[in-house]
């Protein structure tokens, strides 16, 4: 049996930084955010569902969805958040399950980066869940820098997710990303260097 590892965290906690590193080391990583982008592109399974629900206001002249507008419509309204979680959540689950089953045929070990892994109840899929953790202040600072958001907007994005302290209790391994990039990656290397990974590589 292969090993499937879930990677999660919060927005801007360092998941992509970790998964880029894992890819460089030759591992396959499913990126749930990238999958959602594909599904929301014209012709994707989520595109029509979203246009039907929010109307043409969310369609740009070039036919793509206006993602910042969609995000603000969803994040600013708890009912829309609930709708999105249920409706989009089901389609995303089906598509992620298909990718998981496909990779399980060929890979001894692979990773799935799912930002809302705990919120959406995916933990039973995984042998291990690695949480990319950092203190809230640093998380907000990195989010504001990366996405050019105001403090208020950054806090509102964070408030739609469970706190990293809550997720800490549920994860198999906690990877601290409050420090430098080297400190982050050395924790990943230690986890990869455990015997079980050597046997399978
Ligand atoms: P996520 O994928 O979880 O949203 P990212 O990997 O994009 O998070 O990281 C968020 C931001 O923080 C990015 O701009 C990234 O370059 C930066 N970052 C990540 N880890 C560190 C670190 N240890 N030190 C400084 N900046 C970091």
Kind plus residue range of the DSSP H or E element containing 92: helix 78-106
Ligand 1 proximity of 84 Cβ (cutoff 6 Å) = no
* Nearest atom (ligand 1) to Cα of 184: 23
Ligand 1 proximity of 117 Cβ (cutoff 6 Å) = no
* Nearest atom (ligand 1) to Cα of 9: 3
How many whole angstroms from 109 Cα to the centroid of ligand 1? 24
Which three-class secondary structure state does DSSP give residue 78? helix
Ligand 1 proximity of 180 Cβ (cutoff 6 Å) = yes
Kind plus residue range of the DSSP H or E element containing 6: strand 3-9
Kindly report the backbone phi and psi dihedral angles of residue 66, in degrees, each rounded to the nearest multiple of 5, phi listed first.
-80, 90
pLDDT, tens digit, 9 for 90 and up, residues 74-114: 988 999 989 998 999 999 999 999 999 999 999 999 999 99
Rounded distance, CA 153 to CA 150, Å? 5
Domain boundaries, the chain: 3-193
Which pairing describes strands 3-9 and 109-113: parallel, antiparallel, or unpaired? parallel
Query: Which residue's structure tokens are 């029509």?
Result: 48
Q: What is the mean pLDDT of the chain?
A: 94
Rounded distance, CA 40 to CA 104, Å? 25
Q: 67-75 vs 78-106: helix axis angle to the nearest 10? A: 120
Mean pLDDT in residue range 129-138:
97
Q: What is the pLDDT of residue 121?
A: 93
Which pairing describes strands 3-9 and 128-133: parallel, antiparallel, or unpaired? parallel
pTM for this structure? 0.89
Mean pLDDT in residue range 169-179:
97
**The domain over range 3-193 is classified in CATH as 1.20.210.10:** no
Query: Which residue, judged by its Cα, is nearest atom 19 of ligand 1?
Result: 14
């Amino acid at each position: 049996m292969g090993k499937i590892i879930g990677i999660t965290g919060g927005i801007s906690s360092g998941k992509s930084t970790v998964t880029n590193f894992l890819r460089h080391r030759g591992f396959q990583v499913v990126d749930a955010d990238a999958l959602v982008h594909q599904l929301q592109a014209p012709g994707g399974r989520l595109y029509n569902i979203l246009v039907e629900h929010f109307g043409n206001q969310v369609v740009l002249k070039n036919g793509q969805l206006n993602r910042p507008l969609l995000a603000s419509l969803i994040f600013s309204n708890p009912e829309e958040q609930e709708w999105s979680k249920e409706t989009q959540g089901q389609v995303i689950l089906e598509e992620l399950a298909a990718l998981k089953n496909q990779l399980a045929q060929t890979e001894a070990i692979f990773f799935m980066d799912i930002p809302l892994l705990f919120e959406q109840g995916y933990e039973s899929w995984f042998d291990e869940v690695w949480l990319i953790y950092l203190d809230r202040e640093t998380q907000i600072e990195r989010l504001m820098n990366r996405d050019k958001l105001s403090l208020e907007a950054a806090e509102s994005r964070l408030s739609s997710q469970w706190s990293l302290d809550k997720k800490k209790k549920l994860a198999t391994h906690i990877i601290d990303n409050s420090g430098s990039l080297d400190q982050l990656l050395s924790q990943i290397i230690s986890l990869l260097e455990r015997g079980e990974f050597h046997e399978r590589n």
